[in-house]
Structure 1
Amino acid sequence: MDDNIKKSLEDILYAIDEIELFFVSIPKQYDEFLNNTLLRRAVERNIEVIGEAMNRILKADSNISITNARQIVDTRNYIIHGYDTLVPDILWSIVINHLPLLKQEVNEFLNK
C-alpha cells in the first residue's frame, strides 16, 4: 500500500476514534449532542478531517473500495462551504449510521 494512502487511512481512523472518545463521558444520545455546541463542533471538525483524508486517498487511487468514498468528500465540502445550512441531524446521522462501517473498512485496509 502506498505510504500516503496508509497515512490518510490512519488519519481517518484517528478521527473516528476521537469522535468515539467524545462519547465516553457523554451519553450517545441525540439530545445530548444537539445541546452541546462544543461536542457538535468537535465532531464536525473530525468529519472534515475524514473527508479531506478521503479526498487524498481518492486522488492517489480513485478505485479504492470504501463505501461512499465520494460522498464522504462531498460531505466535507458541504460542511466547509455550506456551514450556514448545516443541521446537526446530518452530523448525528454520520456518527450513528456511517462511521461504524467506515471504521471497519479502514481497519481492514490497514490490516492487510
Structure 2
Amino acid sequence: MDNDIKTWLYDISNSIEEIESYFEGSVKIFEAYQNDLKTKRAAERNIEIIGEAMNRILKQDSLIIISNSRKIVDVRNRIIHGYDTVSDDIIWGIIVKNLPILKQEVQQLLED
C-alpha cells in the first residue's frame, strides 16, 4: 500500500479516536451532545478531516474498498459548504452508527 494512503488512513483512525475520546467515561446521549457546542464543533471538524482524507485516498486509489466512502466525502463537503444546514441528528448518527464500522475497516486496511 502507498505511504500516502497509509498516512491518510492513520489520519482517519486518529480522528475517530479523538471523537471517541469526547465520550469516554460517559454514556453517549444525544441530548447531551446536542447541548454541547464544543463537542459538536470538534466532532464536525474531525468528520471534515475524515472526509478530506477519504477524498485523497479515492483520488489516489479508487479500488480501495471502504463502506460509504463517497458518502463520507459528501458529508465533509456538506459540513464545509453547507454549514448552516448541518443536522445534529445526521452527525450523531454518523458518530454512533458509521464510525465504529469505519474504524474496523481502516484498522483492517492498515493491518494488511
Aligned to 2:44: 44
Deviation at 1:25, TM superposition (A): 4.1
Corresponding residue number in structure 2 for 1:58: 58
Q: What TM-score results when the alignment is normalised by the length of structure 1?
A: 0.97
Q: Distance in 2 between matches of 1:37 and 1:85?
A: 16
Who is 2:105 aligned against? 105
Structure 1 partner of 2:27:
27
Identity across the alignment (%): 54
* Aligned match of 1:4: 4
Q: Which runs of 5+ in 1 are unaligned?
A: none
Tell me the residue number matched to 2:95.
95
Is 1:26–1:32's contact at 8 Å kept on the other side of the alignment? no
The letter of the residue matching 1:83 is: Y
Report the counterpart of residue 17 of structure 1 in structure 2.
Answer: 17
- Three-state SS of the structure 2 residue aligned to 1:64 is coil
The list of structure 1 runs, each at least 4 consecutive aligned residues, that deviate by more than 6 angstroms after superposition, is: none
Corresponding residue pairs, total: 112
Letter in 2 for 1:96: V
The Cα shift of 1:27 comes to 3.2
Q: Which residue of 2 aligns with 1:74?
A: 74
TM-score (norm. length: structure 2): 0.97
Structure 2 spans left out of the alignment, 5+ residues: none
- Is residue 83 of structure 1 aligned with residue 83 of structure 2? yes
CA-atom RMSD, angstroms?
Answer: 0.8
